[in-house]
Structure formats: C-alpha cells, structure tokens
Structure 1
Amino acid sequence: MSAGSLRILMVSPVPTDPPDAGNRVRIMTLAQGLIQAGHEVHFAYIPLEPYDLVAMQSRYGSTRVHVLNAVPPRPGPLARMARKLGRFLNIERAFMWRLDDWYSAAANAELAALHAQHRYDVVFAEYVFASKALEALPPDCLRVLDTHDCFGLRHRAYLKAGMRPQWFSTSLEEEERGFRRADIVLAIQASEARDFATRVAGSSTRVLQVGHLIDMPVSSNPSARQAAVFVGSGNPINTTGARHFIDNVLPIVRRAKPGFELLLAGAVSNEIEAQPGIVRLGFVPQLADAFDAAMIAINPVRAGTGINIKLLDAMAAGMPIVTTRSGARGLDAYFERAFCVADDDDAQSFADSILRLLDDAALRRQFAEAARAAAQEWNSEQVAALATALASHVPQAAKGEKKILMPSI
C-alpha cells in the first residue's frame, strides 16, 4: 500500500454482485469510492443472499474477498409460527427482532483471524444488525457503521402504508445499542443523521451523513419514444408503487396519449402482469440502456425510508423525472428543481407532470440538465463527508503528508 492509504475491511450481509438492487449498488459504489481513493478494500461477506463470487473477486481481487462460514441463524418452526401468530394478532413485538438475531457470533472469530492476518485500519459494518462485527476488531481500528436506513420501529412505516412489514425491524433501544458499537455512524440522509445524533448524544459515537455515492455515467440520450421508464427491484414497495401507477396514473396519460408506454426494468417487471401499454424489459445489465429507451423516468413508490437510490441513478443519467414525494425522500433540496414531484396519492398531478414533459422538449432538457447538475452536487457532498470520516484515522506513517482520502467521483 502507498503511504497514507488505509487497509479497510467491509463486513456485509448483502453482496455487491450482481448489483441488481439499490442496497447492493450502495455498498458497491461506497467500496469503489474507497478503492479509487487508493485504499485497500477487503470484502467479508456474510452469506445471507445469493451472490456472484467471480464478479466480486474481479471487483476486489481474488485474495480480498472472504466468504464467511458462519451462517446467520434461522428461527425454528415453532418460533416462526409464534411470530406469525403474533403478527396476525397485531402484537408489536412480533414485528421486531433483537439486534443480533440475524448475526452469528461465530463470525467474529473469523473476522478476528482476518485482522490478525491483514491488520486492518478501518472496519465498516453494513447494517445495524451486523454491528456486532465491529466488536471483532481491536479498539485501535476505526469502527464505522453504515446504517443504510433507520431500523428502529421500521415496521410501523409499512403498517401505516397498509403493507406487510419487510426485512428487519427492531426497537429504538436495540438500534441505539448497535450505534454505540461504532466510532462513526453513517446516516444516508439528513433527517436520519439528525435523529441518530440526538439518540447517541453523550456517547463517543459520531454521526455523519454520507448518502449514496453515485457512479456518474455519460449523460443519457433519452428516446423520442413517448414512454416512461421505472427501474426497480422486485420488492413490495416497488411492486405496490408500480401497480398504483398502472391502475391510477397510466389510464389518465393514455387517454391523452394513446401510444404512451410504461417500461419496467429490473426485477419489478417480473411482478407485473402483461397488459396494454406496459413493456417489461426485465434485468438490464446497463442502466443506460433502460434510460435511453424512454423519454422520461418515473419513480412511483409510495412508502419507504432512506435515500431512494433509483432516483439518484436517474438524476445522474440526466433524465427528466417525475416522482412521488415518498420517492424523493431525503432529497428535499432538489424538489421541483431537479425533478417534478407529485403527492403520493395525487394521480392527476403525477399524470399532468408527465404530459407536460412529453409535450415540451425545452422543459425536458431543462430538467435533465438540472438533474445531472444536482447529482454531481450531491456526489461532491457525500465524498467530502466520507473523507472527513476517514481523516481521523490516517496511519501514523502518513501523518504530515498531504493525502487525498476520497476522490471526486
């Protein structure tokens, strides 16, 4: 390693490859940013989901990908039945997990062995439910928790939206216990950073906002085809949003523009039935191909927490965009400047914004340029925040040297 660079271990229950979901892309771009800054990144994968080992070895180097043997624990049939019954009876604790329920303590022995071999300067744990990994390395190693989202009482947001809670939710107290395992907690949006900072006040843990680092592609070349593209994974939030758009917004647009089409890209297309006006593109290896196929991009999701990565990707591509308010969460500073915003349940407003963009090439160009500029501005802010986090732990040999800890992306 060069003087001033850091040896970093990223511990994650989510793989970076294939990068076919927003959380995978978040971890991938964070790792890429660190590598581009000259740091040596090792990736320790806790096998929770299917993954592409060859692609990850190509990304990090064959000797820097470590698939752990410790498998996350799974509840037995009686525990699953009890949780299912509790949810049916709307007992709140049935929707929550203890902080370490999804983490195998045996993983820490493997991580400690990796540290003994490689002597890491910094360890990142992805997600609060993997925060116990931070305890595997000694105190002189900078411990960073990349939260991705607020998981304290997260299930309530789903229930409020009339949806079945997904993935992980825990109590506020358990989440805060995870925060305090870290020297630095990364929040993905400003409101979460403020909330987390209040909740760890009085401890040695610092909170920084570092949102999604966008891979800035060449600007898209939107098609003359009167179509809108929605890129998303097959999770319930994306599926519910797409169905709401199809049932409530699409008919309004097609009454005015009978040839208008909705293009669905990514796994969300597998969840939607074939019908007139809908084109299911399926998995698209290059996002640019999806964006280039349509005149505008949309984000119709009506729930969720954290930053909406699919919106940032569309902004980076320089697409004219119409989004719901929930779809633009965490990006309030760019409302109506970098994209058009409609209230979640206002189908008419969403349709009107689409029709306005379809009919006005100059307006499309204005929003496309503003979206691209906003994405570049966003990236600069996130890179600066991450550099601040790492600046506190430059190796002693590099003290006094001028070192660019993070590049502009």
Structure 2
Amino acid sequence: MRSVISGRAYTYYQYDSRAFGARLRGVLRTRMPDLVHLDSLDLHRWLPELPQVPIACTHHDIESDLLRRRARSLPQAGLRHYMLLQADRVERLERELCPRLALNVMMSDVDARKLQELAAGVATVVVPNGTDTDYFEPNGSDSVAGRVAFMGPTYSYPNRDAVEFLLQEIWPKVRAADHSTTLRLIGRCAPADRARYDAEPGVTTLGYLPDVRPPLLQARCCVVPIRIGGGTRIKILDAWAMGKAVVSTSIGCEGLDAVDGENILIRDTPDAMASAVLQVLRDARLRSHLERNARRTATETYSWSVVGRLIRSAYDQLLTRSFVLHQPIPTLSRSTE
C-alpha cells in the first residue's frame, strides 16, 4: 500500500530494515571498502548510504521483465494492473540507476542485452550462476526406471506455475502412455498444495530436503516446465552437475549454454514435453548422451571455480581503474523511482 501511495517501487519498502541500516552505518564508520557488491537492485534504497567507491550490482534477472511476464499470467484484473504498475516503476529504476553503477553483473547474455536496451551506456559483464560440481556429482548408482523429478519450492510463483502446468497438462499425458512412471516433487510447499499434488497418480511430494541429491540420483529425467522467469535456472545447473537428462521449456533454460538434443531437450507444448519425457525414460542411448554432455557442460562452464574466476577478474579490473561511478548516486526521491 505504501508503494501505491508514494509512487516508489515496492522493493524500496520490502527491503527496509532499521537493524540493517544501523549495522551498515556502523561498519562504514569503522572501515572503508574498496568496492561494494550489491546483490540485487532490490536493495536500491541503500545506495545513498554507500561511499564513493566502485559499486557493482548483480541482476539475477531483469526484474521489470519478470514482473510483466508474471502479470500476463494472472487472471485477476486488479492484481494484473498492480503488477504492471510495479513493472513500470522497477523499469524506471533500471533505466536511471544502472548506468550510474560501475558494473552490472548479469546472469546471461540474454539479460545483458535486455539491460543494455533499457539503459543507454550501462556497463555490464556476464557472470553466470554456478553449481558446486564437487557436491553435485554422479556417484555411479542406478536411477529408478520411470522416475521423473521436478525441483523447486512452490512459494516461488514461477515454480508454482510450473508445477500446476506439469500436473494439469503434461503429467496426465505421460501417465496415459506409461502407468509405471512416477514423479517426485522436491521443494517446500504449503500443506494444502502438498495434499493436492499427492492426490495425482504416481506423484509424491517430498517437500523441503536438506540434501536433494538422493532423489535426484534416482531420477531418470528432470523436468523444468517453467513458463515465467528470467536470469538462469539453478535447478538445471544442479541437475546437469549430477549428470541428469533434462527436459525444459525454452524459458526454463533461457540464458544457459543449452543445446537441444545435446545436453537437454527443449520443448514448449504439453504434448511435446510429455513426448520428450517418455523418450528420455525409454531410450537409454539418448539418455546416456544427454547425461554425459550435461555433466561436461556443468564442469566446464558452470563450476564455481570457473564462475569465481570470472567475477574475480571483473572486480580486479574495477579496482585497477581510476574511475568510481559514472555519476554519484543521488538521494532517492519519488521522481528517481
């Protein structure tokens, strides 16, 4: 409500915290950083508090684009209007603040291009999400015949939409073709949703697990029917690291080094996704091909050692430059947002 009345983006209030503000000011009084890493433009309300040193901001997605995608899927006119209103306000932030930052760290080339189109003169570098390829790795154990897995908490709207899409439009087609198939849903969800999901034939909701590797090891196919999203899907990176065959929508693997038929199967309609899942389950040769390439992609492109070198190199370059910011970050006003 404060956002609607004030004209500010909702994140200005969502990430307000007296305790955090006091801690931030206390730390800055005792030592001056050489560089500040802002882990999302959601934290923009704190920019005026920061010293005049290089500021790098990670963009896990293009938030304005994500909000518009979500708005298009909402049946309620009032909520859809509110989401589009916030998308406009967040886009204004992206346009006005991102060019003033020393560096904008993007998850993919796709997101980098989107931000460059939004904000003229913005400095970007692509450093993808990563996965712990030592923690997530195949252990030689056999997968379970007919086993499919989806990973992600349904309190996240894109995951919730994906599960609904999977259970309503894809899974019935898989089960109709093969009654022995089973689906495991991995990730936190509300009790009412869990009961509803478990009522579907062959479906078991595992909920939150401190270690997701055992059910991933059992899966012969990981499915990612994401229809709303931005950034990159860490669930695919973890599945790839485990050497798993993945079937995803185009949006689900957007921005990743995904090659259809090599390290993933990319399908966008319920019929095509169901057919691809069945193909992976039935065709051992195809499955083995996807699994080998998945693991190779994870280790060569998305391991923490590779990603770490990229971000360290980008920050080292910032620290050796003589410039701090394109422009000082102003005290945020309604017009700025």
Structure 2 length normalisation: TM-score? 0.79
Give per-residue Cα distances to partners, 1:197-247, cap 9 Å, x unaligned: 344434xx5211112121112225452231101011112221221122112
Instruction: Give matches, 1:194-343, under 5 Å.
Output: 194-202=113-121, 206-216=123-133, 217-219=136-138, 221=141, 223-234=143-154, 235-268=156-189, 270=191, 271-272=193-194, 273=196, 274-275=198-199, 276-331=201-256, 333-343=258-268
- Answering whether residue 32 of structure 2 is matched by residue 119 of structure 1, we say yes
Q: Which amino acid aligns with 1:212?
A: N
Structure 1 residues 108 and 284, CA, compared in 2 at 3 Å: closer, same or farther?
closer
Structure 1 residues 248 and 98, CA, compared in 2 at 3 Å: closer, same or farther?
closer
Q: Which has the higher contact order (CA 8 A, sep 6+)?
A: 2
- Answering whether residue 102 of structure 2 is matched by residue 183 of structure 1, we say yes
Equivalent residues of 2:237, 2:302 under 8 A apart: no
The residue aligned with 2:334 is none
The residue aligned with 2:58 is 146
SS at match of 1:310: helix
The residue aligned with 2:112 is 193
Distance 1:269 1:110 in 2: 34
Q: Once the 2 structures are TM-superposed, how far is the Cα of residue 114 of structure 1 from its aligned partner?
A: 0.4
The residue aligned with 1:33 is none
Distance 2:142 2:35 in 1: 41
Identify the match of residue 12 of structure 2 among 83, 92, 100. Answer: 100
Distance 2:217 2:257 in 1: 26
Unaligned runs of 5+ in 2: 322-337
Give per-residue Cα distances to partners, 1:14-65, cap 9 Å, x unaligned: xxxxxxxxxxxxxxxxxxxxxxxxxxxxxxxxxxxxxxxxxxxxxxxxxxxx
Q: Once the 2 structures are TM-superposed, how far is the Cα of residue 314 of structure 1 from its aligned partner?
A: 1.0
Number of residue-to-residue matches in the alignment: 303
Structure 1 residues 264 and 103, CA, compared in 2 at 3 Å: closer, same or farther?
closer
Give per-residue Cα distances to partners, 1:266-301, cap 9 Å, x unaligned: 114753412221011111111212202322111112
Equivalent residues of 2:102, 2:318 under 8 A apart: no
Q: Which amino acid aligns with 2:292?
A: E
Unaligned runs of 5+ in 1: 1-74, 84-92, 397-409
Q: Once the 2 structures are TM-superposed, how far is the Cα of residue 126 of structure 1 from its aligned partner?
A: 1.7
SS at match of 1:312: helix
Distance 1:126 1:111 in 2: 15
Equivalent residues of 1:132, 1:178 under 8 A apart: no
SS at match of 1:267: coil
Q: Which amino acid aligns with 2:108?
A: Q
Structure 1 residues 176 and 103, CA, compared in 2 at 3 Å: closer, same or farther?
farther
Identify the match of residue 50 of structure 2 among 137, 156, 163. Answer: 137
SS at match of 2:252: helix
Distance 1:295 1:282 in 2: 19
Cα RMSD of the aligned pairs, angstroms, is 2.9
Distance 2:176 2:29 in 1: 66
Distance 1:393 1:175 in 2: 21
Same amino acid, percent of matched pairs: 22
Q: Once the 2 structures are TM-superposed, how far is the Cα of residue 103 of structure 1 from its aligned partner?
A: 4.2
Equivalent residues of 1:284, 1:290 under 8 A apart: no
Q: Which amino acid aligns with 1:227?
A: R
